[in-house]
Amino acid sequence: MSIPRVVLHKHKADAVKRFHPWIFSGAIKQTEGELREGAVVDVYSHAGEFLATGHYGTGTIAVKIFAFAPVSDLEQLFLEKLQTAYQLRQQLGLVNSPTTNCYRLINAEGDGFPGLIIDWYNGVAVMQAHSIGMYEQRSVLVRGLQHIYGAALKAVYDKSASLLFRHAASQDASRQDQYLLGESSPLEVLEFGHRFLVDWQTGQKTGFFLDQREHRALLAHYAKDQKVLNTFCYSGGFSIYALQAGARVVHSVDSSAKAVAWTKDNVALNPTTGDHAAFTDDVFTFLKDCDADYDIIVLDPPAFAKNLSARHQAVMAYKRLNQLAISKLRRGGLLFTFSCSQVVIPEYFNGAVMAAAIETGRPTRILHHLTQPADHPVSIYHPEGLYLKGLVLRVD
């Protein structure tokens, strides 16, 4: 059966020739063959030149490209891509590490799989497809994971349906989050020797925020004998690192009672002599009411903007949040502040934080510029893949 074709307008092939993996709907001149959501399509220039192969979608991004050369065997191509991703994690020292057994294996466009995330948790691969095209390749991906990991792979959990079909009326069992291979209860993982309970079924994203691993370790470098406030704490990652590093006092805050309970469980897994207290509260409210005596404050909020239309309000929210935090730091205190909103580019985020510092009138210096770790790679051809931004500030 012939593969449907997408033909681009004149001059719209340039971005594809620069290996950008997205084709927007407005770039398409015509289509040939039967198209449906998730279909594999070949992309051609207006002059009939083959350009790429990808998955078709009915949204603004009409094609997400996974190959810039003709594909003769899709399963073999995906296996090779999985092997390349695995080899990178080996190179990073994450595979078979004695102190860390959780990491990101596939980071969407950064690993040549637009619309796909796969995270590894101590023998369990958690998959989250953000496109119908990748969702339909689940069985191919499972076979590839089995080939790469062998007996080390205990289970594969697919967490795609709750994302892709959350507005669908159908409750078909095939459209539910489910195990594609084996089964597993929530389990304990290690990150730089710290113990965390991960529940991919009920937790956010795939269960744990792996992209903050290096930043948690950086916090530990500064935390000894300090009073630390970890806001939007989720399962307590920054709190555990601070306590294990010898922090005197750690406060964890989240609006979710479930997250606070999870944090307490993880603190119990990592006994220390530090004083820990967890609060279920709105972070803005907590910051307004708390004492101004923290040595370190961590701001790691959820994405304030999911699209461009929400960007301005998000920037204003980052400014208010950072202004509150800066005002609650002791002289010489540190602020670890982050944005995971992809549409809030670093310039906007840094500007919001600077505006917050100006409002407080306090001398403030940047000690570190932070971004996502190496197991969350960004294709040089797809700068949109950079989503995590962070700063460490010293406030005098």
Domain ranges of the chain: 5-67, 74-188, 209-395
Is residue 340 among the annotated active site residues?
yes
Residues in the chain: 396
Domain 74-188 is of which CATH architecture? Answer: 2-Layer Sandwich (3.30)
Enumerate residues 6+ apart whose C-beta is below 8 A from 47.
none
Specify the pLDDT at position 324.
98
Specify the pLDDT at position 112.
98
Query: Model-level pTM?
Result: 0.95
Question: At 201, phi and psi to the nearest 5?
Answer: -75, -40
Q: At what angle do helices 346-360 and 311-327 cross, to 10 degrees?
A: 40
Calpha distance 337→323 (Å, rounded): 11
Would you write out the chain's pLDDT as a tens digit for each of its 396 residues? 589 999 999 999 999 999 999 999 999 999 999 999 999 999 999 999 999 999 999 999 999 999 999 999 999 999 999 999 999 999 999 999 999 999 999 999 999 999 999 999 999 999 999 999 999 999 999 999 999 999 999 999 999 998 898 766 555 667 899 999 999 999 999 999 999 999 999 998 999 999 999 999 999 999 999 999 999 999 999 999 999 999 999 999 999 999 999 999 999 999 999 999 999 999 999 999 999 999 999 999 988 877 878 888 889 999 999 999 999 999 999 999 999 988 889 999 999 999 999 999 999 999 999 999 999 999 999 999 999 999 999 999
What is the strand order of the sheet 22-24 is part of? 22-24, 61-67, 50-56, 40-44, 5-8, 28-32
Fold annotation for 209-395: Rossmann fold (3.40.50)
Specify the pLDDT at position 1.
56
Between the CA atoms of 133, 136, 140 and 143, what dihedral angle is there, to the nearest 10 degrees?
130
For residues 131-167, one letter each, b for 16 or more C-beta atoms within 10 angstroms of the residue's C-beta and e for the rest, the string is bbbbbebbebbbebbeebbeeebbbbbbbbbeebbee
3-state SS, residue 278: strand
Specify the pLDDT at position 308.
79
Query: What is the CA angle 181-182-183, rounded to 5?
Result: 125
Calpha distance 104→85 (Å, rounded): 9
Q: Are 219 and 229 in contact (CB under 8 A)?
A: no
Instruction: Give the CATH class of 5-67.
Output: mainly beta
| Shared fold status for 5-67 and 74-188 | no
Calpha distance 154→174 (Å, rounded): 21
